[in-house]
Amino acid sequence: MDLGLAGKKALVLGASKGLGRAIAESLAAEGAEVSTVARSGNPGERHIIADLDDPGAAQAILAALDGAALDILVLNSGGPPMGTAVSTGPDAFAAVMGRMFNTQIALAQALLPGMRARGYGRILAVASTSLVTPIPGLVLSNAVRAMLATWCKTLAAEVAADGVTVNLLLPGQIATDRLASLHAGMAAAQGLTAEQVTARSVAAIPAGRLGRPEEFGDIAAFLASPRASFITGSAIKVDGGQTATL
């Protein structure tokens, strides 16, 4: 299936590794011209070095784009530290709001006028299945991603008539460095090995395995394409059937 992405211009945040990198690779494989953002890497024509925690990150990214007209924006960031609702205070939330919310919506708002004027735009936000079922020990992720999700849902209705779609991707347990780090943290807290935690996690997934990053990237590429023009305001789970809701 030709997704019709040849020549479309995309910007992917948090693209040095993991899910962000997988999305960038899938978009590029379909012919999109992909610019990436990360805190590290070799800066070049299509890679921008920026720390989403920096209050000036959005403006720096826009300056590096130098007025380029973008068709696709992928909102993505590194996950926050583990923590419980009982013990996590306001300062911890404030520390992650920049990269997980403020910078992302600032970029979206800056790029939206061009998308609307051209009659084509795709905004994808990488969230988590915690939007449906909060994950124990990840209160920062649960709460802040929910905030971004409801912002996206509100935006979707506001811009749909202009040819701009806004959707969320909810990864379950995908084999990334982030998941390995979470499993290691859980293992340390529970007196288990990381391998035991991973095995227990896999046992809870009906598909019987962890997801592959490229599978996730390919779903994002479809949603970014003209073929997905009637899908907006949706949160799509990519979890091997693990989440116990429709």
Q: Which residues of 26-43 are buried (b: 16+ CB within 10 A; e: fewer)?
A: bbbebebbbbbbbeeeee
Domains of the chain by residue range: 9-174+214-238
pLDDT digits (tens, 9 = 90+) for 160-198: 999 999 999 999 999 999 999 989 988 998 999 999 999
pTM reported for the whole predicted model? 0.94
Superfamily name and number for 9-174+214-238: NAD(P)-binding Rossmann-like Domain (3.40.50.720)
Which pLDDT value is given to residue 1?
Answer: 81
Mean pLDDT of 111-120: 98
pLDDT digits (tens, 9 = 90+) for 153-166: 999 999 999 999 99
Which pLDDT value is given to residue 43?
Answer: 78
User: Is the separation of the CB atoms in 19 and 171 below 8 Å?
Assistant: yes
Tell me what percent of the residues of the chain surpass a pLDDT of 70. Answer: 100
pLDDT digits (tens, 9 = 90+) for 100-110: 999 999 999 99
E strand spans, the chain: 9-12, 33-38, 47-49, 72-75, 121-126, 164-171, 235-238
The two structure tokens encoding residue 194? 């990381």
